[in-house]
Amino acid sequence: MNIDLSALEVVNNEAKKRFEITVGGQTAVTEYMTPGDKIIFTHTEVPVGLEGNGIASLLARTALEWAKEKGLKVMPLCPYVAGYIRRHPEWKALLLEGFRVD
């Protein structure tokens, strides 16, 4: 399946504490918790039929942009989000003091 990322809408479903993208009835998510002035990314999941299209990257980037706008410090417990930050070091400035992704 070839997906045009620019046509996708990322929704911050605050009630479910997750960023979502729905394509063809399938939903990809990045889940989080927001204790105090932190955001803890706990899990990212993309349905098998949507994998390999950059959807997880779009979720991670959008979630990090939201965290930056809100002034939240980031704890990426989710391996995907941690890896995204490793590959895009411009986001390391958002990490909670002492938290490393290297």
Give the torsion through C-alpha atoms of 7, 28, 37, 92, to 10 deg.
-70
Quick check: pTM over 0.75? yes
Could you tell me the pLDDT band of residue 1, with boundaries at 50, 70 and 90?
low
Return mean pLDDT, the chain. 95
Distance (Å, whole) CA 59 – CA 20: 7
Residue 99 has pLDDT above 80, yes or no: yes
Q: Which two tokens stand for residue 2?
A: 């070839």
Domains, the chain, ranges and CATH? Answer: 5-94 (3.40.630.30)
Count Cα neighbours of 77 within 13 Å in the Cβ-side half-sphere: 10
> What is the reported pLDDT for 96?
95
pLDDT digit string (tens) for 10-58? 999 999 999 999 999 999 999 999 999 999 999 999 999 999 999 999 9
> What is the reported pLDDT for 102?
85
